[in-house]
Amino acid sequence: MLIRLLLLIFVTSVPTYGSSEQQPPPLELPEILQPDKSEKPVAPTPFVRTGPTIQVAILLDASGSMGGLIDQAREQIWSIINAIALANKHEQPVTLQVGLFEYGVEHQSKHDGYMRLLSPLTSDLDQFSEALFAIKIGGSKEYAPKAIKEAANRLQWSQHPDDLRLIIITGNEEFQQGDIPISHAVPLAVSKGIIINSLYCGNHAKGRDLQWATPALLGHGRYLNIDHKKHAPRIEPPYDDDIILLGQKLNDTYIGYGAKGSTKKQQQVAQDSNASSLSKSSSTERSIAKAGKQYKTQDWDLISLAEENLNQGIAQAKKDQLHFKGLNDEEISNKLKQKISQRQHIQKQITDLEKQRNSYIKQAKNNKTNKTDDLGNAIILTIQDQAKTKGFSFQ
């Protein structure tokens, strides 16, 4: 009798909810089981082909021993971009897209393969730079084959036969780790027309012993090795200070528009700061990149939009009503043209100084510099050689 009474009290004390009544609060998991909401997922960028395209996905081992590699990548990324930006094909402008994965990182779960997509294939170079500086070093599980599989499946690759699609994967441990075999990951990428280049951070022969040559062989690419702890000798041309100053003046010609205009303008300045925090050469190379054709900002900068299509620039300026309020179409047009002219003048100054700078560097370099002895040289020479086989040229 007592047991029946207790059951009755329990049942009548449990609240019930009708369809129109207040619903029970959602179940809250303990903090340790809560999903990580601190990082926004990286949305893939649909690929829209506008002409000859070079796509490069860089897969960086960011485990605990790879700090030197990440430092090289951050310092040399703008010189890499500037070298690739020289590409042309059939006298058509070439589109460069770069993507970034980090793998071997402890802050990601085993389910994720201890890796993270930091940037989809994109022409937004500021976004890529921000992603590169977001790498978190630390970890010990380097599932390189899975990283290749993820890059092949998750990135938006061109399907045009004339385009160049590359994966460059770096690391310093046994290549075959995890449950995805090399013999599965690499052929998957190759089936999509992607060339696999493997870059071992250490002794060339040891890298072969650790199977780093295998993915390059199966992926129709190149096996390379570098000393990731080595600091390349720095050459400081007398033109760098002037180029950096012009790069800062170039920022004054950007006028953000739309929902992301203000954020992208701040991002531009932040990536200037990131580059300058590394070296004068890095800051100089970024200024050169901003003056080049691969630095595309039409989706947030009013002057770039107007330079591409003046009528669209005028319409957007009237829509925003922030910088040209109260002006008629002719007045807006004149002010946009003035900013375009100012930017083009600064860009030409940077380009002229760049030519003198390149000549100075070429004379200062010794014969060893042409070898693939650091990340920048290895990536530049590899991409240029493989691009030439697809009919691209560099001038």
Domain with CATH 3.40.50.410 in the chain: 53-234+368-394
Q: pLDDT for 93-106, tens place per residue?
A: 899 999 999 999 88
On the CB side of 26, how many CA atoms lie within 13 Å of its CA? Answer: 3
72 residue type, one letter: Q
What are the tens digits of pLDDT across the range 240-259?
999 999 999 999 999 999 98
Provide the pLDDT for residue 154: 96
For 42, the token pair is: 């990286």
Q: What is the pTM of this model?
A: 0.84
Averaged pLDDT, 137-147:
91
Q: How high does pLDDT run on average in the chain? A: 86
148: helix, strand or coil: helix
Residue 83 has pLDDT above 60, yes or no: yes
> What mean pLDDT do residues 85-91 have?
88
pLDDT for position 236: 86
Which residues, 6 or more positions from 362, have their beta carbon under 8 angstroms from its beta carbon?
none
What per-residue confidence (pLDDT) applies to 117?
95
pLDDT in the model for residue 233 = 67
List C-alpha distances in Å: 140 to 62, 104, 143. Answer: 9, 6, 10
pLDDT band per the 50, 70, 90 thresholds, residue 371: low
Average pLDDT over residues 321-347: 93
- pLDDT tens figures, 284-293: 999 999 999 8
Per-residue pLDDT, averaged over 129-150, amounts to 92
Q: Which CATH superfamily is domain 53-234+368-394 in?
A: von Willebrand factor, type A domain (3.40.50.410)
- Among the residues of the chain, which ranges form H helices? 2-13, 67-84, 125-132, 144-154, 182-190, 204-209, 213-218, 240-251, 261-276, 280-290, 302-308, 310-320, 329-364, 375-388
